[in-house]
Amino acid sequence: MAQDIYLLIVEDEAALRETTAERLVDHGYQVVAVASGEEAVERLSEFAFDVVLTDLRLPGIDGREVLGAAIERYPEIVGIVMTGFGTVKDAVEAIKRGAAEFITKPFQFDQLLHVLASALEQRRLRSENAYLRSQLEDRYRFEGLVGRSRQMRELFDLLETVSASTSTVLVTGETGTGKELAARAIHHNSRRRAHRFVALNCSAVPETLLEAELFGHVRGAYTGAVANRAGRFEIADRGTLFLDEVGTMSVALQAKLLRVLQERELERIGDTRTIKIDVRVIAATNADLPQLVQDGLFREDLYYRLNVIPIGLPPLRERREDIPLLVRHFVNRLSQQQTPAREVTVTQEAMRRMMAYGWPGNIRQLENAVERALALGGERTQIDVEDLPPELKNSAALEQPVAVTLPDGGVELPAFIANIERGLISQALNETDGNKQRAAQLLGLKRTTLVEKVRRLRP
Ligand SMILES: Nc1ncnc2c1ncn2[C@@H]1O[C@H](COP(=O)(O)OP(=O)(O)OP(=O)(O)O)[C@@H](O)[C@H]1O
Ligand SMILES: [Mg+2]
């Protein structure tokens, strides 16, 4: 049973750290041991441990903060504080802040095993009661976007700054990374919020109708134009126009769009009257626009006109530490919509699978996976591995903390790592019968990166 339990030890005293780690490994626990609170917090952002066993007094970030960070990320985690005699009062205070136990130093190893077993048992009971629904803190949100990774916090700062200006914005990113949500966030955080946010997906409207959709027409301008009609630019006046999939627009229409952006005025199709407009444009694409420019499919001048402020949304696999927060966000939102509303938790093993997976469909795919899990869960109040989509079920092995010990004589690190990479790549290729696209997904890489690595790593 213990072999499925992942435990993080945080202890600055080397001898105690190492003996405790070794003995827990002997008892079948999967152990990662670190010497500082800083390292602990970093590990926690990458991996969903079951237990964090921390010293209270640590140089730098102390045990209390480590526990806080752990519980905030994973309400399911078991916290155990090791504390010297005389600091029991502090320990009690640390415990009050979250679900934690404590053990006083020096302790017999059996005492620790006992505390551990009872804490794990308590967690099991507690999960069955769905004990905790943590609030997402405001500091990890910007409008509808949530995220705590460095990339997302930088994005929030950028969105905040951009909201205050009226410059044109180009949002780029893979499918499902939140491009539209980011555009809405800018609008709602700007002074234009009292006016409309108008979205137009350029690839969803037939080319022949797109021009009229954008600029409007007068009655009789063409067959089917039975009445005067305002275009999206006019409707968005004083607000924001979101041009989605802008890379699919024809070169002819691109020229017209450029003119409107430059002159800030337009004529409806079939009309001679010029209309002034005050619209902020936010464009989005998951195509490689510079490449389209090179290929002559996208006007270079329009590209520069749109790309005044570029905002790139990172793929989910490059910010896995956001996954627990996003999962909680979706679980909270979706489970509250059900009747009766339920308090639902997620097991650490299910969380590990989700953190290890490559998410080619990014946040939209994650959201769908959570929705599916809740539906499959029925009346249950806990999401477990069995509720996850099939492609996640074998994703865990890759991100388990690798238990590598430094050989006495040291290693050649680059060669050693190349060896590990080679091993995992060949496993991925085996599992997918040599399908590079799917193997790349299993490894959380782009296909081109995988191909490049295969070439470079060939022994
Ligand atoms: N940071 C985030 N926090 C919470 N929800 C998010 C976040 N990013 C995206 N989502 C959700 O994920 C889904 C996809 O987001 P969105 O439609 O904005 O993606 P997109 O980049 O426009 O995708 P596509 O390229 O396929 O159009 C939406 O339901 C959105 O609410
Ligand atoms: Mg979109």
Domain residue limits, the chain? 2-128, 140-314, 325-397, 413-457
Task: List the one residue out of 16, 19, 86, 71 whose CA is nearest residue 40.
Answer: 71
Atom of ligand 1 nearest to the CA of 180: 18
Which residue's C-alpha comes closest to atom 31 of ligand 1? 181
Ligand 1 and 180: CB distance under 6 A: yes
- What whole-number distance in Å separates Cα of residue 74 and Cα of residue 119? 15
Compute the distance from residue 245 Cα to the ligand 1 centre, in Å: 14
Surrounding residues of ion ligand 2, Cβ less than 5 A: 180
214 lines ligand 1 (CB under 6 A): no
Query: Which residue has the least CA distance to atom 1 on ligand 1?
Result: 145
Which class would CATH give 325-397?
mainly alpha
Query: For the residues of 107-126, what is the DSSP string, one character each?
Result: --HHHHHHHHHHHHHHHHHH
pLDDT at 134: 47
Return d(Cα 251, Cα 422) in angstroms, integer. 45
How far CA 361 is from CA of 218, 376, 422, in Å, comes to 41, 21, 26
Whether 178 lines ligand 1, by a CB cut-off of 6 Å, is yes
Q: Give the pLDDT mean for 415-433.
A: 83
Mean pLDDT throughout 148-158? 93
- Please give the pLDDT value at position 413: 82
Reported as half-sphere exposure (CB side, CA atoms, 13 A), residue 18 has a value of 4
- Burial (Cβ within 10 Å: 0-12, 13-18, ≥19) of residue 156: buried
| Out of 13-22, 115-124, 156-165, 327-336, least confident range | 115-124
174 CB within 6 A, ligand 1: no
Atom in ligand 1 nearest the alpha carbon of residue 183? 18
Is 367 a pocket residue for ligand 1 (Cβ < 6 Å)?
yes
Q: Is the pLDDT of residue 404 over 80?
A: no
Determine the distance from the C-alpha atom of residue 381 to the mean position of all C-alpha atoms in its chain, rounded to a whole number.
24
Ligand 1 nearest-atom number relative to CA 174: 25
| 249-289 pLDDT tens trace | 999 999 999 999 999 999 999 999 999 999 999 999 999 99
For residue 94, pLDDT beyond 90: no
Mean local confidence (pLDDT), 119-126: 76
Task: Map residue 144 onto helix, strand or coil.
Answer: coil
Q: Cα separation of 67 and 83, whole Å? A: 13
Residue 346 has pLDDT above 70, yes or no: yes
Cis geometry, peptide bond prior to residue 290 (ω within 30 degrees of 0): no
Strands 265-266 and 275-276: antiparallel
Question: 202 CA to middle of ligand 2, Å?
Answer: 11
Confidence (pLDDT) at 235: 95
Measured from the Cα of 284, ligand 1's closest atom is 22
pLDDT at 170: 97
As a whole number, mean pLDDT of residues 22-27 equals 92
Residue 399 pLDDT:
47
In short, whether 153's Cβ falls inside 6 Å of ligand 1 is no
**How far, in Å, is the centroid of ligand 2 from the Cα of 101?**
46
Neighbours of 286 (CB within 10 A): 17
Min mean pLDDT across 80-94, 129-143, 175-189, 324-338 is at: 129-143
* Mean pLDDT across 430-445: 83
User: Does residue 394 register a pLDDT over 80?
Assistant: no
Question: Which of these, 363, 369, 368, 446, lies nearest to 180 by C-alpha position?
Answer: 363
Same fold, 325-397 and 413-457: no
pLDDT at res. 247:
95
What mean pLDDT do residues 177-204 have? Answer: 95
Write the residue with the smallest CA distance to atom 8 of ligand 1: 178
Q: Name the band, by pLDDT with cuts 50, 70 and 90, for residue 333.
A: confident
Lowest mean pLDDT across 49-58, 120-129, 270-279: 120-129
pLDDT of residue 436: 86
In this prediction the pTM is: 0.77
Tell me, using a 6 A CB cutoff, whether residue 173 lines ligand 1.
Answer: yes
Q: What is the pLDDT of residues 224-235, one digit of tens each?
A: 888 899 999 999
CA of 175 to the centre of ligand 1 (A): 8
Q: What is the mean pLDDT of residues 177-198?
A: 95
Q: Which of 364, 367, 370, 371 for a ligand 1 pocket mutation test, highest count of atoms within 8 Å of Cβ?
A: 364
Atom of ligand 1 nearest to the CA of 366: 12
Pairing of strands 280-285, 240-244: parallel
Residue nearest to atom 26 of ligand 1 (CA): 175
Mean pLDDT over residues 31-47, rounded?
93
User: pLDDT band at 306, cuts 50/70/90?
Assistant: very high
Mean pLDDT score, 160-179? 95
3-state class percentages of the chain: helix first, strand second, coil last, to nearest 5? 50, 15, 35
Q: What is the mean pLDDT of residues 363-375?
A: 95
User: Which one is predicted more confidently, 86 or 303?
Assistant: 303
Specify the residue with its C-alpha closest to ligand 1, atom 12.
364
Residue 385 has pLDDT above 80, yes or no: yes
Query: What was the pLDDT predicted at 422?
Result: 85
For the chain, how many residues are written? 459
Other C-beta atoms closer than 10 Å to the C-beta of 58 total: 21
Beta strands in 189-331 (DSSP E): 197-201, 216-217, 229-230, 240-244, 265-266, 275-276, 280-285, 309-312
Q: Is 177 in the pocket of ligand 1 (CB under 6 A)?
A: yes
| Whether the CB of 176 sits within 6 Å of ligand 1 | yes
Is the CB–ligand 1 distance for residue 147 below 6 Å? yes
pLDDT given for residue 359 in this prediction: 93
Distance in Å, CA 116 to ligand 2 centroid: 46
How high does pLDDT run on average in the chain?
87
Third-level CATH fold of 413-457: Arc Repressor Mutant, subunit A (1.10.10)
Q: What pLDDT does 133 receive?
A: 44
Ligand 1 test: best mutation among 363, 367, 371, most atoms within 8 Å of CB? 363
> Ligand 1: distance of its center to the CA of 363 in Å?
6
- Residue in 31, 6, 1, 2 with CA at minimum distance from that of residue 349: 6
* CATH label, 140-314, candidates 1.10.645.10, 3.40.50.300, 2.40.30.20, 3.40.50.1360: 3.40.50.300
CA distance 64 to 93: 9
- Out of 69-78, 130-139, 147-156, the most confident range is 147-156
CB-ligand 1 contact for 204 (6 Å cutoff): no
pLDDT at residue number 85: 66
Ligand lying closest to the C-alpha of residue 285: 1
Specify the CATH architecture of the domain 2-128.
3-Layer(aba) Sandwich (3.40)
pLDDT score of 18 more than 50: yes
φ, ψ (nearest 5 deg) of residue 257: -65, -45
